[in-house]
Amino acid sequence: MGRLENLTKGIIKENPVLVLLLGTCPALAISTQASSAIGMGLAATAVLLCSNVAISALRKTIPDTVRIPAYIVLIAGFVTLVQMLIRAFSPALNEALGIYLPLIVVNCIILGRAEMFANKNTVVASALDAIGMGLGFTLALFVMASIREIFGNGTFFGMPIPLLDENNISILTLAPGGFFVFGCMIALVNKVSKGKAIQKKEFGCSACPSAAVCGKQRCENTEKGRGNA
Amino acid sequence: MKELIIILMSAVLVNNYVLQRFLGICPFLGVSKKLDQAVGMSIAVIFVMLIATAVTWPIQIYLLDNNGLGYLQTIVFILVIAALVQLLEIALKKFLPSLHKALGVYLPLITTNCAVLGVTILNIDAHYTFVQALVNALGSGLGFLLAMVLFSGVRSRLEASDNIPEAFKGIPITLIAAAITSVSFFGFVGVVENMFA
């Protein structure tokens, strides 16, 4: 795989939110305003870049059996750093992201890229992958937030839009609107790619990148039903 | 007492973790296909939320805050929860094999669930007392159970219908159904505030 492809695949072809269906919680929650969506996307990108580089550099040092706890500690450390920086330099963004800022730790995209990419590839490739995935995440969040802000609130980056300003569909900015817009966007991706893009047909355990944390075998058992645990 | 009931009811109905706060979306969409799985998963979530709150609250108040280490919250909480879930599973296997059989499969899946980390951090942010924090954790867990049970009913109807447009099949229609389920929770707005009025 070429270097350029490592960078670009995350933006459209393997977009983490719309195609790989990772990180749905922040995507739904932080997409009410375009400005906070960009903030969230960039914060997650920063954490992803740091964690991918660190994990890739340490991939020969970290023993295989304890790799997941080690990754979680590394990621939590970087999240704490980003949290402190945002708190110090942009209190307004800190307010807008709220609980979802510390929750970047459990964002599946970050652990997923560590497990699926960074621990098998070089530092440069992992860094490019992180930037591409991070930008893809930011882009998806931005598009979703733009739709919800323009039609739900009648504003864009806080600037009122004539006509829509008075005729907004305020439910789009509330919780149901998040599910609705996200569902429609995935349907659009499905339509445009004729059903080929979405590799994961269901939200299931085996497709979850953190499956390694709990053991693939167990996940499969869960999917089959409770039985032979 | 009145205050505790308000915290409980608002965690279950008004600030429902899944449908209003978007925490724990993965298990909500992943394990809600069958009713028995949905109930098993939710009971495991309630269990872990309560125990995680009981452990992380004293750690934050007595250990981190007293020593000026509040900034370590994220890193400490995620490690404590991860270790706790593992210990819990070992303990259940040894002492309560029947409960382990029912919940065992779901326990490890909860380690990286944002609803559990979310409830422990929100309890600290809201400056709850220990009892209030536990009640909030119980309410959040019950809210998760309510959403899962409701949604598994909706899901089984979706599975049966065959006139869904091609592009909407699978995940998109599930999300739209979740949106409609979420609208139903707006019916509870104002209920809690006026409960004792």
Question: What pLDDT does residue B35 have?
Answer: 86
Quote ipTM for the complex: 0.85
**Contact status of A218 with chain B (Cβ, < 8 Å):** yes
A50 CB contacts (<8 Å, ≥6 apart)? A78, A81
Write the CA distances from A100 to A15, A24, B21, integer angstroms.
Answer: 20, 12, 10
Rg (CA), chain A: 18
B102, closest residue in chain A (CA to CA): A226
Q: What is the pLDDT of residues B113-128, one digit of tens each?
A: 788 889 999 999 989 9
Look at residue B196 and tell me if it is in a domain: no
**Contact status of A103 with chain B (Cβ, < 8 Å):** yes
CA distance A70 to chain B (A): 10
Look at residue B107 and tell me if it is in a domain: yes
Of A27-31, A98-102, A216-220, B165-169, the least confident:
A216-220
How does residue A89 score in pLDDT terms, banded at 50, 70 and 90? Answer: very high
Q: What is the pLDDT of residues A25-71, one digit of tens each?
A: 888 888 888 889 999 999 999 999 999 999 999 988 988 888 888 88
Look at residue B170 and tell me if it is in a domain: yes
Question: What pLDDT does residue A146 have?
Answer: 92
- What burial class does residue B197 get, using C-beta atoms within 10 Å of its C-beta: 0-12 exposed, 13-18 middle, 19+ buried? exposed
Tokens read off for B97: 């094999």
- Closest CB from A84, A183, A210 relative to B71: A84
Identify which has the larger pLDDT, A220 or A197.
A197
| Interchain pair B25, A25: CB under 8 A | yes
B118 CB contacts (<8 Å, ≥6 apart)? A99, A103, B17, B21, B23, B24
Contact between B180 and B158 under an 8 Å Cβ cutoff? The reply is: no
**Contact status of B69 with chain A (Cβ, < 8 Å):** no
B147 phi-psi bin (left φ>0, alpha ψ -120 to 50, beta other): alpha
Domain extent at residue B39: 32-185
| Interchain pair A190, B172: CB under 8 A | yes
Element (H, E) at B100: helix B97-103
Count Cβ–Cβ pairs < 8 Å, chain A vs chain B.
166
Q: Which of A1, A92, A7, A103 lies closest to A47, judged by CA?
A: A103
Look at residue B191 and tell me if it is in a domain: no
Contact between A110 and A104 under an 8 Å Cβ cutoff? The reply is: yes
Residue given tokens 């869904």 in the structure block: B164
Look at residue B124 and tell me if it is in a domain: yes
**Contact status of B172 with chain A (Cβ, < 8 Å):** yes
Tokens read off for A84: 């402190």
Cβ density class B30-44: b for 16+ within 10 Å, e for less: bbbbeeebbbbbbbb
| Interchain pair A80, B21: CB under 8 A | no
Look at residue B10 and tell me if it is in a domain: no
- Give the separation between CA A72 and CA B64, rounded to whole angstroms: 20
- Give the separation between CA A156 and CA A5, rounded to whole angstroms: 32
List, in sequence order, every residue forming a beta bridge with A159; answer none if it has no partner: A156
List, in sequence order, every residue forming a beta bridge with A155; answer none if it has no partner: A160
Look at residue B6 and tell me if it is in a domain: no
Of A141-145, A210-214, B120-124, B189-193, the least confident:
A210-214
Q: Which residues of chain B have pLDDT under 70?
A: 112, 197
List, in sequence order, every residue forming a beta bridge with A156; answer none if it has no partner: A159
Look at residue B102 and tell me if it is in a domain: yes
**Number of domains chain B contains:** 1
Residue given tokens 């259940």 in the structure block: B92
In this prediction the pTM is 0.86
Question: What pLDDT does residue A229 have?
Answer: 30
- Give the separation between CA B187 and CA A16, rounded to whole angstroms: 34
- Give the separation between CA B175 and CA A180, rounded to whole angstroms: 6
